Amino acid sequence: MKKWPWGIFAGVSAMFVFFLTVGFILAYVVLGGIARQTNSDFSMFQNWWQILIFVFDLIFFISLVGSTVMFILREKNI
């Protein structure tokens, strides 16, 4: 496990977390605006792709935290 590139894993996970979070927020803003204009109800978890974005965001966030911890532990030689 010490030879794995934990810094690269953390960087890739950080990019996915950033873009998935931005996508989740933009979808919320756009779909919320459409719902307000059409006087309909709105939930962020109405469609399968909204749930998928949220789940992947959580998975990559957990991966980011784990790989960052492993990177720090490897650098301290614990």
Residue range 57-69, pLDDT digits in tens? 999 999 999 999 9
CA-to-CA distance for 77 and 5, rounded, in angstroms?
Answer: 14
3-state secondary structure of 62: helix
pLDDT by residue for the chain (78 residues), tens only, comes to: 678 898 999 999 999 999 999 999 999 999 999 999 999 988 889 899 999 999 999 999 999 999 999 999 888 876
- Give the amino acid at 31: L
| Residue 1, pLDDT score | 66
Q: Which domain holds residue 18?
A: 6-71
| Residue 33, pLDDT score | 93
- Asked whether residue 76 is domain-assigned, the answer is no
- Asked whether residue 1 is domain-assigned, the answer is no
pTM, full prediction:
0.85
- Asked whether residue 78 is domain-assigned, the answer is no
